[in-house]
Chains A and B, each alone.
Chain A
Amino acid sequence: QKEVEQNSGPLSVPEGAIASLNCTYSDRGSQSFFWYRQYSGKSPELIMSIYSNGDKEDGRFTAQLNKASQYVSLLIRDSQPSDSATYLCAVGGDYKLSFGAGTTVTVRA
């Protein structure tokens, strides 16, 4: 059973601050890593994918991957109220993904 663990949250950050989300995974053979955002009552939406060690930036989002430590993170810079959602970490080694339970982020004005 591939395990994906996320910090439990909820995470409350002030508007404009950086939100930092963490995820660890158990399968060293994992090759692909994703962050999904899920608003309440909606479906998961892919926001970041990362496949190699290092950082990947897309707008206000930065994903960081460290395969040696089996760790992937997501930074949300200049957090906005619209970033309030649950963030799911997903890890894949073949065609299937394993998901973490999610971290709920609340951005307070």
Chain B
Amino acid sequence: DAGITQSPRYKITETGRQVTLMCHQTWSHSYMFWYRQDLGHGLRLIYYSAAADITDKGEVSDGYVVSRSKTENFPLTLESATRSQTSVYFCASSPTSVNYNEQFFGPGTRLTVL
């Protein structure tokens, strides 16, 4: 019933630390996505995944790593956090249909890097 969830909802960390943001969906959607949203830039794609063990870079992937060992989970890791990575991060998922590619978003994680 939860749909798509993200954790933590809020995170404060320091420059240089590794941070992992979690995303979990219960719809069994094949596709999952990570976006960041910043004022003046809108939603920008970081990484996406077509299925378990299949991932690909989006437009702003530098400094981020993803994995997808299970269909339902798609964690995003900031290997060494920088202040420029302060943002709101949204995970989304989409059913497997090239003609019907609606994406459904999780509640977001607000990350602050000090």
Contacts and interface: CB of A to CB of B under 8 A. Distances in A.
- Do they bind each other? yes
A49 B102 CA distance: 8
A95 to B, nearest CB: 5
Contact of A46 (B45, B90, B104, B107): B104
A100 B37 CA distance: 12
B43 A99 contact: yes
A97 B42 contact: no
Contacts of B102: 32, 34, 46, 49
Nearest to B40: A101
A66 interface: no
A12 interface: no
Contacts of B103: 34, 46, 90, 97
Interface residues of B, number: 24
Interface stretch (A13-21, A37-45, A55-63, A67-75): A37-45
Nearest to B96: A95
Contact of B48 (A31, A49, A96, A99): A96
A45 B102 CA distance: 11
Contacts of A88: 42-43
A95 B107 contact: no
A43 B43 contact: no
Given A42-B107, A43-B108, A45-B105, A96 B99 contact: no
A95 B94 contact: yes
Nearest to B91: A43
A39 B90 CA distance: 14
A44 B101 contact: no
Contacts of B101: 32, 92, 94-95, 97
Contacts of A95: 31, 48, 50, 94, 98, 101
Interface of B: 31, 33, 40-43, 45, 48, 50, 58-59, 90, 94, 98-108
Give me the 8 closest cross-chain CB pairs, A-B, nearest first.
Answer: A101-B42, A99-B43, A43-B105, A44-B105, A43-B108, A92-B101, A99-B42, A43-B107
7 contacts: A36-B105, A42-B107, A44-B43, A45-B105, A46-B104, A90-B103, A95-B94
